[in-house]
A and B are shown apart, each in its own frame.
Chain A
Amino acid sequence: GEDVEQSLFLSVREGDSSVINCTYTDSSSTYLYWYKQEPGAGLQLLTYIFSNMDMKQDQRLTVLLNKKDKHLSLRIADTQTGDSAIYFCAVALWGGNNRKLIWGLGTSLAVNP
């Protein structure tokens, strides 16, 4: 079936790079999304990538997609304490007559000063 997996926790030091990984099972994915959720808040779109791209860069964020291995990663350069949050990977499929979004369980990023 369709599944998206993420590691649950990641701890980094302030100023280091963070890499959050996501693997998925469905090869018919079209767009892949990264969302950020801060405590007590909703999900905020960070970035997304089309499935025929290998990489997308947006300021401190770099998304890498290995379609062959069905592996997506989000790299945050120069990680700050304000980056502490839960990061969700979501994979969009076209399910017949409607979009289907498959969500990972989220990776909790802790940034230590």
Chain B
Amino acid sequence: NAGVTQTPKFQVLKTGQSMTLQCAQDMNHEYMSWYRQDPGMGLRLIHYSVGAGITDQGEVPNGYNVSRSTTEDFPLRLLSAAPSQTSVYFCASSYSAGTNQPQHFGDGTRLSIL
């Protein structure tokens, strides 16, 4: 049982480049989300999805796009990378969006924008 799998683990981009961070879960979870983790800022929600075909913005959505075509996958796209997007990105999933549903996290993608 792999849980939540994120790829790549590390990535270096140049300013202006685009890329997609992949996230897949094998637990048949309806809810998936993307966070970024920055020193002194904690975890901030970027985008989330409550099911296939349904996505919504979190607290820091600018510069990022998401889609959810299947239950398993929830990719995060950086449209035109900026140095301010240097961060560690975590994908998380839970059975549903209920408050009693703990989230399961992937191991993260460490992204540097030069």
Q: Which A residues are closer than 8 A to B by beta carbons?
A: 30-31, 33, 35, 40-45, 48, 50, 88, 92-94, 98-99, 101, 103-106
Check if A43 sits within 8 Å of B90, measured CB to CB: yes
Q: Bound state CA distance, A35 and B99, in angstroms?
A: 15
Q: Which residues of B contact A105 (CB under 8 A)?
A: 40-42
A42: which of B41, B42, B102, B105 is its contact (CB, 8 Å)? Answer: B105
Chain A contact residues, majority secondary structure: strand
Q: Which residues of A contact B41 (CB under 8 A)?
A: 105
A93: which of B43, B50, B99, B101 is its contact (CB, 8 Å)? Answer: B99
Interface string of B18-45 (1 = CB under 8 A from A): 0000000000000100000000111101
What residue of chain A has the Cβ atom nearest to residue B40's Cβ?
Answer: A105
Given A41-B108, A98-B97, A99-B97, A33:B102 Cβ within 8 A:
yes
Check if B103 sits within 8 Å of A94, measured CB to CB: no
Interface string of B53-76 (1 = CB under 8 A from A): 000100000000000000000000
Check if A101 sits within 8 Å of B103, measured CB to CB: yes
Additional 5 contacts, C-beta under 8 A, given A35-B105, A41-B107, A98-B48? A30-B100, A33-B102, A44-B105, A93-B99, A94-B99
What residue of chain A has the Cβ atom nearest to residue B105's Cβ?
Answer: A42
